[in-house]
Chains A and B, each alone.
Chain A
Amino acid sequence: MAYLEMQSIYKSFNQVPVLKDVTLELQQGEIHALIGENGAGKSTLMNILGGVHQPDKGLIKLNGQAVEMTSPKKSQEYGISFIHQELNLVSDLRVYENMFLGSEIRNKFGFVNVEEMCRQTTDILTKLGVHINPKEYVRNLGTSYKQLIEISRALLHKSKIIIMDEPTTALSDHEIDRLFDLMRNLKEDCISIIYISHKLKEIKSVCDRLTVLRDGKTVKTGDLESETLDSITHDMVGKSLSEDRMIEHEELGSTVLKVEDLSSPEQFKSINFEIKKGEIVGFTGLAGDGRTELFESLFGYRKNYKGDIYVNGKHVIIDHPKKALKAGIGYVPKDRKENAIIQDLNVIQNMSISSLSHFEKNGFIKGKLEQKKFTYYKDQLNIKVHNPRVTIDKLSGGNQQKVIIAKWLELNTDIIIFDNPTQGIDVGAKQEIYQQIIRLAQQGKAVIVLSSEALEIMKICHSVYVMYQGEISGYFKGEDATEDKIMSYATGSKKEAVPVG
């Protein structure tokens, strides 16, 4: 008998059905993949198991006993830990304080036992291969660390079931491998894991069984052994997708962006590169390689840098995103919850926030124009939303990401930087986003794609820069790129002089 059974779960939000008769069975000591398109209902199903939402109908059985998850606390008491899709750390608290938030260890006098909490924090983080001071403030840490802290926090409780909702979106391959080792160990201890991810390779390598959701229904459940990447993709999106390179060699136009000797203390140094009209350039590397900092500087979000930037041959000084925009540079940031989403604005307003001048008449915003434009992007990017007037945090993760991309497409800048653009996006929609990016290039824009996924870079980039510890360590043509080659430059085992101009 299965350890956990979720039977015929129904759930609607504002009369819109999201889950329709979903069934999930979890064995003891298995890693169970839960996959499906953006908005299929994966997170909702897990929120029901985690006590965040209540089902309209349906039954949850633990060990054969019917249980009711009336609150997150209740769910935790039943031995369920939940790593949420979006980060939920308090950035003004220290690492160990976040780890033990709400379940502080106290000594016999009732005072919190800081030493013990720090010790346990260090223990768990070490298992994941992370070495940070437990007394560090979370706001000073990079996203990948934050995600690792979220994971560690779930491991702290002696849980029987761990829900992992896209835990690896901000992690590099190295950290992912560590996590998988840990997951396999947990499995040995008879702990069950529900693993949600859009990275099918990960799923293939670490999961035992899978359940596929489509449009709020269970369309498949079974062993992973008999599956191939192709058959899973097919179950998820209803068609096969090719792994081939999506661009040909094309004639490129004149140089649009030229960067000379850009340096910033402890972030990056001596960065030189240039991009032509119609070119898609990839930047890749491991976590902490400085590429995000580099492009945040180029976009004017960071001011503490030296060097020269030329746009269309003209020297520009960029010390605020507003100036970058004026110079024709757009930037789609990574980690949408922290950098891109405005939670209290609705979906349409999030799309239009940077381009309000397109929707103004006599100084007033015209809701109708906004709505019309949004409908256009909704069709273009296939954004799944029933009522675009709800706040954006009501959308599924992948659909939020699409809205953010729409926001920058609307700005229509000559140079556009995408930082990890397919974060949390399903395999089918990824393909559509790649096509969007390629279309931009064909329209004569210069596109920069930052990604830690080698495959992504190889698929759509004309040329590739690899970064290592804040420097460009390798450069080659997109068609010459291979995963091994990228890896050897990214880890610093190989380095070459970069041709300029």
Chain B
Amino acid sequence: MAEPQMKDDQSVETKSNRFKNGLNWLWSDYSVVIAFIIIFIAASLMSPRFLDINNLMNILMQVSIIGIIALGMTVVMLSGGIDLSVGSVLALVGVLTVTALNATGSVVLAVLSALIAGPLIGLLNGLMIAKGRIAAFIATLGMMAGARSIALYIADGGSISGEVQSFSLISNSELGIVDYPIIIFLIMTAFVYVLMHKTRFGRYVYAIGSNEKSARLSAINVEKMKLSIYSLAGLMVSVAAIIETSRLNSISSSSSGQLYELDAIAAVIIGGTRMTGGRGKIIGTFFGVLILGILNNMMNLMNVSTHLQGFVKGLIIIIAVVFQKRE
């Protein structure tokens, strides 16, 4: 916003200042995009196979599940909360979905039960947090243990496989060269983006994460909002669970979804969302997810031991947080 009538004797400095301000703005709003570009270029220089279209699609395919979960996590974290239960809930929803599939033989009913179970569990999280006034960290930690345990109980500790083959079409079909899960991920990103930036819901989420007391005094029904927020996160987990289950037409009650909460939170933080809420962007999370995906892919291409991949991820999270603190 340059004001033409105010050009006075400081024009020498303003030029360099303007440049600096421009950079500052770019950096503070889009640092994750810049980081993404740098990592992308580095990756393509380091491994010639990286730029192969199949490899790129492969990356997108691999991040789609975490990506969808991370979208819900972003909303939760923007509101000042956290959801540690996503991984376990994914396993539980998966188990329920396959059970429903086998019981009814209908793909539609299986998908429907998944889409109902996730938000219901999310609603339960929300109730504990909003009505029971339990800290989000504790409430969802409890849910994390509880959901996993019920999944194990239903599946008797093992995996269960779907008996209807067409269910696996969801994850194993493609449109041109683009796999369905990627398309679902992109659609979900667009959906949550619009929700957060163009609707009342999104505005309220930011307000609650920024200053809950002011939000309440602005006549926002904070409790009800929290119920919706955690239900939305549950819905995202449902979608992710459907993709995960459909991939191999089976789900493991013990290992599916393990540490997904970590990856999702990592993507959100790398994407620039503030831990305490109020500030962050869906686009940031989108690129955060891609960055994680590229790093994983690079480590695979370069034969880094899978055991070391956690270390690299941890390092990246810490670096991202350090950058955030600097602002």
Contacts and interface: CB of A to CB of B under 8 A. Distances in A.
A345 B8 contact: no
Interface string A272-315: 00000000000000000000000000010100000000000000
B209 A344 contact: yes
A344 B209 CA distance: 9
Given A57-B13, A353-B203, A353-B207, A14 B21 contact: yes
Contacts of A14: 1, 21
B143 to A, nearest CB: 25
Interface string A135-174: 0000000000000000000000000000000000000000
B211 A342 contact: yes
A344 B218 CA distance: 15
Given A17-B8, A345-B206, A339 B214 contact: yes
A356 B206 CA distance: 14
Interface in A1-32: 10, 12, 14-17, 20
A364 B195 CA distance: 9
Most buried by A among B194, B217, B218: B218
B181 interface: no
A338 to B, nearest CB: 6
B17 A338 contact: no
A324 B216 CA distance: 12
Contact of B6 (A17, A57, A299, A301): A17
B199 interface: yes
Contacts of A387: 1
Given A14-B1, A57-B13, A345-B203, A20 B219 contact: no
A309 to B, nearest CB: 17
A354 interface: yes
A349 B203 contact: yes
B244 to A, nearest CB: 31
B1 A342 contact: no
B307 interface: no
Contact of A338 (B209, B214, B218, B221): B214
Contact of B198 (A15, A357, A365): A365
A364 B221 contact: no
A331 interface: yes
A77 interface: no
Nearest to B278: A344
A14 B6 CA distance: 13
A343 interface: yes
Interface in A323-360: 324-325, 331, 333, 338-345, 349, 353-354, 356-357, 360
Contacts of B213: 338-339
B14 A15 contact: yes
A356 B203 contact: yes
A321 interface: yes
Contacts of A386: 1, 3
A331 B217 contact: yes
A501 interface: no
B10 A56 contact: yes
A322 interface: yes
Given A20-B8, A343-B278, A345-B210, A301 B217 contact: yes
B33 interface: no
B325 interface: no
A363 interface: yes
A267 B13 CA distance: 56
Interface in B65-122: none
A320 interface: yes
B191 to A, nearest CB: 13
Contact of A57 (B1, B10, B216): B10
B122 to A, nearest CB: 22
A325 B217 contact: no
A344 B3 contact: no
A354 B214 CA distance: 11
B220 interface: yes
B203 A15 contact: no
Contacts of A57: 10, 13
B2 interface: yes
B13 to A, nearest CB: 6
A129 B198 CA distance: 51
A5 to B, nearest CB: 21
Given A322-B221, A356-B203, A365-B200, A10 B10 contact: yes
B42 to A, nearest CB: 32
Contacts of A354: 218-220
16 contacts: A14-B1, A14-B21, A56-B13, A56-B17, A299-B217, A321-B219, A321-B220, A324-B219, A338-B211, A339-B214, A339-B217, A341-B214, A344-B209, A344-B279, A353-B218, A353-B220
Interface of A: 10, 12, 14-17, 20, 56-57, 299, 301, 320-322, 324-325, 331, 333, 338-345, 349, 353-354, 356-357, 360, 363-365, 386-387, 407
Given A343-B210, A344-B210, 14 more contacts: A15-B14, A15-B17, A56-B17, A57-B13, A301-B216, A321-B220, A322-B220, A331-B217, A333-B217, A342-B278, A345-B203, A353-B220, A354-B218, A354-B220
